[in-house]
Amino acid sequence: MSLAAIQKLNAADIRCTVLTKGLQPIELVEQSDQNEYGITLITPNLIQQNLSEILEAVSFTNRIIFGRTNYNKEISAYSKHRAFYNEQADVVIQFCNERDIDYHIKNGTMT
């Protein structure tokens, strides 16, 4: 249904902004190049992951929005969660600056 809505809007010369939580679906590549595509990245300290690899995988995007996981007691119970998100936000900012990608760090992510 979302793809049909994008196609209808694009047919009326209306640009769309699409925000996803994963890799860009191939169907979006076939849409108007005037559209904007964004990825929301949330990197909880619950699992081991490499933020640089994740950022490389989504480097096709026009904008990266980064924020901490809310409403999860396990995150805030981790004594170093503030330092973790500060460090990760710095990684996102540096990555985006180096590649001229727009970014937004959600309020409350950095302390």
Q: Domain residue spans in the chain?
A: 2-105
Q: What is the pLDDT of residues 47-68, one digit of tens each?
A: 778 899 989 988 888 888 888 8
Residues β-bridged to residue 65: 40, 104
Q: Where are the beta strands (DSSP E) in the chain?
A: 17-20, 36-41, 63-66, 102-105
Cα-based torsion angle of the residue sequence 61, 65, 68, 71 in order, rounded to the nearest 10 degrees:
-100
Q: Counting beta carbons within 10 angstroms of the beta carbon of residue 7, is it exposed (0 to 12), middle (13 to 18) or buried (19 or more)?
A: middle
Q: What is the pLDDT of residue 97?
A: 98
- Global pTM value: 0.69
Q: What is the pLDDT of residue 9?
A: 95
